[in-house]
Amino acid sequence: MTTFSPADEEKRRGVRRMKLTATGLLLFVALVYVLAEWASHHGAGAWAGYVSAAAEAGMVGALADWFAVTALFRHPLGLPIPHTAIIPKKKDQLGVSLGEFVGENFLSEDVVRQRLRAVGIGSRLGAWLAVPEHADRVTAELSAALRGALTVLRDSDVQAVVGEAITRRADAQEIAPGIGKMLDRVVADGGHRRAVDLIVTRAHDWLVLHGDSVMDAVQGGAPGWTPRFVDKRVGERVYKELLRFVTEMRDMPAHPARGALDRFLTDFAADLQSDTETRARVERLKTDVLGRGEVQDLIASAWTAVRSMIVSAAEDERSELRLRVRASLLSLGARMASDTKVQGKVDQWVEGAAVYVVTTYRREITSLITDTVASWDAEHTTKKIEANIGRDLQFIRINGTVVGSLAGLLIYTVSRMLGA
């Protein structure tokens, strides 16, 4: 607070004009007094006494009010008279008093509740949000805020936090029982059969296309002392049996291998839930997997992908995200505008939040006022206050001159009447 705004400069010019007016009126009554006294001493009529008394009292009133107004901002005539220059001397004390006044009269729980209850924020906010243009505006502002927040956040920090949170959560919770329950439900519902169908179908198709590779692999693993035609016959036999097995398993829902797989999965699901050794092995596997760099890189890349997706959706006015937010705001606004229960809940929430803020941070708010006033330059503050209220104070000087003149005239008149 060290400079004057153009508005302040205009106010200061107005104060100077009013000072000239008030001072001119003082000089005028002084001149009238001198002329009236001169006339009275040179044989003028009784009227001179009345004029002289009025002018004299007007001068007294003008001087008294000039002193009072000037004493607020500076020492009159530069004389260090006690209890003058009040604002420069008492600036800090005024700041403390202003802070206390605001805290007691504006930041009290009762005042905040009464004011907010009278406003009816719930119904007003609902009616405002129910207007499509307003919902569009709020959606755009929320999108901009979301983009700004995601832009400010450093990917490395978020990735570290997300990775640590996921790892800590996974380490703190045993996953084997949950996996066992899920696997048990999948097997009971037959959900695994589709996966088995897919696997055996792909295996069958692969065997049909790569029969030579299978036979070559079998022949390559045969002992060196066996004849080649024997190796070939064995390879062909193994391939045919393998193809037959896969084909039957593909085409027969009741194939023994399918039943064996069902029993294996059922037993494994039970072991995951109840067998201590199996659960311990799963936990060790989980720890090993989470500790791998590839998994941590996957977690980090997941945040990058999610952030890009959210930013893109926030920028696109026709994205599903923004459309859903807009629809939710319109729906919320309609409910708040028509449902008194919703209005009451919103009002209670707003009141509670406001009361919490003013009761918890009242001292900080009032100290902000006090500290701000204390940091202001005393001389500049005085000039700024004078610029804002000085014009009205000059009217006090003018009124003092007029009222003093009338009072002097009245007193002189009464004195003459009593003397007569």
Model confidence over 153-167: pLDDT tens digits?
777 777 777 777 777
pLDDT at 219: 64
Segment 289-293 shows an average pLDDT of 77
pLDDT at 51: 92
Between CA 401 and CA 61 the distance in angstroms is 5
Between CA 19 and CA 15 the distance in angstroms is 6
pLDDT band at 228 (very low <50, low <70, confident <90, very high): low
pLDDT at 2: 60
Secondary element (H or E) of residue 106: none
Question: Is pLDDT at 131 greater than 80 in this prediction?
Answer: yes
Which residue type does 363 have? R
How distant, in Å, are the alpha carbons of 34, 50, 122, 391 from that of 40? Answer: 10, 10, 76, 37
pLDDT at 128: 93
Which residue type does 80 have? P
Task: For the chain, report the end-to-end CA distance as a whole number of angstroms.
Answer: 63
Between CA 60 and CA 54 the distance in angstroms is 10
Question: Is pLDDT at 41 greater than 80 in this prediction?
Answer: yes
Question: Is pLDDT at 171 greater than 80 in this prediction?
Answer: no
Between CA 278 and CA 267 the distance in angstroms is 11
Secondary element (H or E) of residue 64: helix 47-73
Which residue type does 39 have? A
Tell me the percentage of the chain whose pLDDT exceeds 70: 96
Question: Is pLDDT at 1 greater than 60 in this prediction?
Answer: no
Model confidence over 355-375: pLDDT tens digits?
888 888 888 888 888 888 888
Least confident interval from 40-54, 114-128, 228-242: 228-242
| Region of residue 77 (left: phi > 0; alpha: psi -120 to 50; beta: else) | left
Between CA 66 and CA 71 the distance in angstroms is 8
Least confident interval from 139-153, 190-204, 222-236, 334-348: 222-236
Model confidence over 266-283: pLDDT tens digits?
998 898 888 889 888 888
Higher pLDDT, 215 or 405: 405
pLDDT at 411: 93
Burial class (CB in 10 A: 0-12, 13-18, 19+), 408: buried
pLDDT at 238: 79
Segment 131-147 shows an average pLDDT of 91
- φ/ψ of 120, rounded to 5, equals 70, 60
pLDDT at 63: 94
The two tokens of residue 81 are: 């008279």
Nearest to 139 by CA among 324, 307, 306, 311: 324
pLDDT at 177: 87
Higher pLDDT, 239 or 314: 314
Model confidence over 67-99: pLDDT tens digits?
999 998 888 888 888 888 888 888 788 888 888
Higher pLDDT, 138 or 189: 138
Model confidence over 64-75: pLDDT tens digits?
999 999 998 888
